[in-house]
Amino acid sequence: MSLALENVDKIVGRETHLKNINLNFETGSRNVILGRTLAGKTSLLRIMAGLDKPSKGRIRVDGRDVTGVSVRKRSVAMVYQLFINYPSLTVYDNIASPLKTSGMDKSEIDRQVREIAAMLRIDDLLERLPAELSGGQQQRTAIARAMVKNADLLLMDEPLVNLDYKLREELRVELQDIFSQRKAIVVYTTTEPTEALMLGGNVTVLDEGRILQTGVTAEAYRRPATVKVAEVFSDPPINFLRGRVQGKTARIGRDDIHVPLEGEMQRLADGDYTFGIRSNHFLLERTSDRDAQIEARVELAEINGSETFIHFNHADTRLVAQEDGIHLYRIGSAITLYVNPGCLFTFDLEGNLVASPSPERREGPLS
Amino acid sequence: MDKWPDNRAWFLVLPAFIIVAFSGIIPLMTVVNYSLQDIFGPGEAVFVGTEWFKEMLGNYRLHAALWRQFLFSGLVLLIEIPLGILIALAMPKRGWGVSASLVILALPLVIPWNVIGTIWIVFTRPDIGLFGVGINSLDLLEVPFDHTAKPLYAWITLLAMEVWHWTPLVALLAYAGLRAIPEAYYQAAKIDGASAWATFLYIQLPKMRGVLTIAVLLRWMDSFLIYAEPFALTGGGPGNTTTFLSIYLVKLATMQFDLGPAAAFSLIYFLIVLLFSFAFYQALLNVGRGEKG
């Protein structure tokens, strides 16, 4: 099966929720829709499911126009941010509910329910009510209910957001396995770049109802087409500093960061640019003599597990460095950071990417 | 942590204790006092022990009033709860209609009880009332409608009044419960291909269980203590057919001045109310547990 959205707009009242969306999905593909809250991710899923009609544009399944066709007549399953289960039905009946409406015979329903429940490791909870389960188990039940339907289109609307950190990690890993066994179009929305990268497949970066970039997930991370994509696709946020290319060097920030041009940057014409540096590319120690040096003041050092986020200020811009290990800094103290010139993203003043990090650099740690 | 060494802290509890004593304990003990004595006049009282209780428990009038009371409260619940849910389901979900229907719905709730009694007396009067004249002009009834004429008519009028007055409360509670259901539940039901009836049965009703239990509790207790409506409308008649517990109690205490039996009866009444409150409270707790998460 293939699903295509053609020039889809969604306007509610005076608000544009989606604008000119063109997307194609193929059976067996794994698709991530990445965007911040209110980017239009849920609106997009609802239109794909057939829960909402687009204000403009067409939806085609295998070339056939299904724009106005009711969700009941489509082969769709969906998992939500909230844990949606029938409150008065047991886990077993919850999972069986989509099959019962299809008129399948009892023993076959039983077989399928138990198979899916085993896959999601809730087979020992089948007699319980949703309210007697933990959040993770409730969401597993909801996922099982979506899976058992064996729909052509499986929509996951930020399914892990409301789970605690540990459960999220656990389920995220399991979902990858489960998705790979499915012959369906899987569409998964998230606000988290790390989640998008883990799921892989294709990504659609959405912002304010518009598509910013589509492509293979890892590739979009390596080459964000615009400043906006780089912002959406970075956590912690990517740092931007204005600067100028002159001859063989770029002078960044307060004109005091001197970066020798490397890789794609060597092709840059002289002029003003915006440079992007991922927070994990700020180093506390010099690794080569080409490294650019940044002098700054610490505004806050935030220790997060085994990492430290150092917030600092340079040229009136707030920047964040992400460092392994625990580092203690006094607020207001001076700090020197280093950046390898090969790690810089260069954007022109319109915000379009003109040079991305050299291949050997951009493979660095993802988060 | 060590125990606070200063017992003067108890003084902080004193104001609350005094208020509770005056509002609850002292009046209650006065009733207990009456229920154990036979009072002939000032300073002339004889301790009679449990005699009044025995007498009241064996009193057939009290039994009749009690069964009447259960029947009335049962009917009230059977009508008001489903009707309230229906109204809540039919109410608009967004737009100006929401505030309009909420205001209209709340109207009966803000009218004083004696005004309600008067409204219904006039409304059902066979000579000038809209309903009374209307139904009698149809000539369908063997005995012309008059709530003072026939016990059935008195009951119908009382129930209609009670339903008109209090169903809006149930509807408001049910509406609040419905609005609290996230939209995603309805979407999920749609995707599953569930019918409107299945959506009601498996999503709306279970999700409303909490508020509906509160509605049942409130309406049960309130209708069990009903006094104003039959007092204003029928005064307990015709005969004794609408003499509910509170009406009987007031007759006993203020008209016959049987303070001893009335006090004993009050305590029995109080215990029944307490027992049901406890039962409903337990049910409510369990619902809360079941709905968690």
Half-sphere exposure of A189 (CA within 13 A, CB side): 23
Q: What is the helix (H) or strand (E) element at residue A324, kind and residue range?
A: strand A317-324
Residues 6+ apart with CB under 8 A from A49: A71, A74, A76, A78, A153, A155, B187, B191
Residue owning tokens 């789970």:
A163
Q: What is the helix (H) or strand (E) element at residue A254, kind and residue range?
A: none
What single letter denotes the amino acid at residue B66? Answer: L
What single letter denotes the amino acid at residue B33? Answer: N
Domain boundaries, chain B: 59-290
Q: What is the DSSP track for A139-166?
A: HHHHHHHHHHTT-SEEEEESTTTTS-HH
3-state DSSP: chain A helix, strand, coil percent, rounded to 5? 30, 35, 35
Contact A71 B190 (CB under 8 A): yes
Partners of A308 in the beta sheet?
Answer: A303, A323
Q: Identify the pLDDT of residue B141.
A: 74
CB count within 10 Å of CB B281 equals 12
Q: Identify the pLDDT of residue B250.
A: 85
Q: Looking at residues A298-303, what average pLDDT do you find? A: 89
- pLDDT at residue A263 tops 80: yes
CB count within 10 Å of CB A101 equals 15
Q: Looking at residues A303-320, what average pLDDT do you find? A: 88
Q: How far apart are CA A317 and CA B287, in angstroms?
A: 54
Partners of A154 in the beta sheet?
Answer: A77, A186
Q: What is the helix (H) or strand (E) element at residue A15, kind and residue range?
A: strand A15-26
A29: left (phi over 0), alpha (psi -120 to 50) or beta: beta
Residues 6+ apart with CB under 8 A from A55: A9, A10, A11
Contact A131 B292 (CB under 8 A): yes
Q: Tell whether domain B59-290 is in CATH 1.10.3720.10.
A: yes
Q: Is B230 helix (H, G, I), strand (E, B) or coil?
A: helix
Sheet holding A15-26, edge to edge: A15-26, A2-12, A56-61, A64-65
The pairing of beta strand A334-339 with beta strand A317-324 = unpaired
Partners of A26 in the beta sheet?
Answer: A2
Structure tokens given for B58: 């064996």
Rg of chain A over all Cα atoms, to the nearest angstrom: 24
Average of per-residue pLDDT values in chain A: 88
Q: Identify the pLDDT of residue A367.
A: 39
What single letter denotes the amino acid at residue B27? Answer: P
Contact A86 B203 (CB under 8 A): yes
Structure tokens given for A264: 């794609």
Q: How many CB pairs under 8 A join A and B?
A: 60
Phi, psi for B140 (deg, rounded to 5): -95, -25
- CA terminus-to-terminus distance, chain B: 33
Q: How far apart are CA B183 and CA B176, in angstroms?
A: 14
Dump pLDDT digits (tens) for A27-85. 988 999 999 988 889 999 999 998 889 999 999 999 888 888 888 888 899 999 999 99
Residues 6+ apart with CB under 8 A from B118: B232
The pairing of beta strand A202-207 with beta strand A30-35 = parallel
Q: Closest to A51 (Cβ–Cβ): which among B190, B192, B193?
A: B190
Q: Is B135 helix (H, G, I), strand (E, B) or coil?
A: helix
CB count within 10 Å of CB B60 equals 7
Is residue A226 very low, low, confident or very high in pLDDT (cuts 50, 70, 90)? very high
Dump pLDDT digits (tens) for A129-138. 998 898 889 9
Q: Identify the pLDDT of residue B293.
A: 37
pTM exceeding the 0.80 threshold for the entire prediction: no
Instruction: Work out the minimum CA distance from B207 to partner chain A, whole angstroms.
Output: 7
Contact B188 A78 (CB under 8 A): yes
Q: How far apart are CA A300 and CA A298, in angstroms?
A: 6
Q: Is A57 helix (H, G, I), strand (E, B) or coil?
A: strand
Q: What is the ipTM of this complex?
A: 0.77
Residues 85-144 of A with CB under 8 A from B: 86-89, 97-98, 101-102, 129-131, 133-135, 138
Please tell me if residue A247 touches chain B, with a CB cutoff of 8 Å.
no
Contact A101 B192 (CB under 8 A): yes
Dump pLDDT digits (tens) for A318-346. 899 999 888 888 888 889 999 988 888 99
Q: Is the separation of the CB atoms in A74 and A50 below 8 Å? A: yes
With contacts defined as CB-CB under 8 Å, which chain B residues touch A135? 293
Q: How far apart are CA B88 and CA B77, in angstroms?
A: 16
Residues of chain B falling short of pLDDT 70: 1-4, 284-285, 287-293
Domains along the sequence of chain A with CATH: 2-226 (3.40.50.300), 236-361 (2.40.50.140)
Percent of chain A with pLDDT over 70: 97
Instruction: Work out the minimum CA distance from A232 to partner chain B, whole angstroms.
Output: 26
Q: How far apart are CA A132 and CA B55, in angstroms?
A: 50
Nearest alpha carbon to residue A74 among A97, A46, A55, A95 = A46
Q: Identify the pLDDT of residue B289.
A: 52
Least confident of A162-166, A359-363, B236-240: A359-363
Q: Is the separation of the CB atoms in B161 and B233 below 8 Å? A: yes
CB count within 10 Å of CB B207 equals 20
Nearest alpha carbon to residue A252 among A352, A358, A140, A344 = A344
Q: What is the helix (H) or strand (E) element at residue B178, kind and residue range?
A: helix B151-179
Interface test with B, best of A71, A76, A84 (most B CBs within 10 A): A84
CB count within 10 Å of CB B234 equals 24
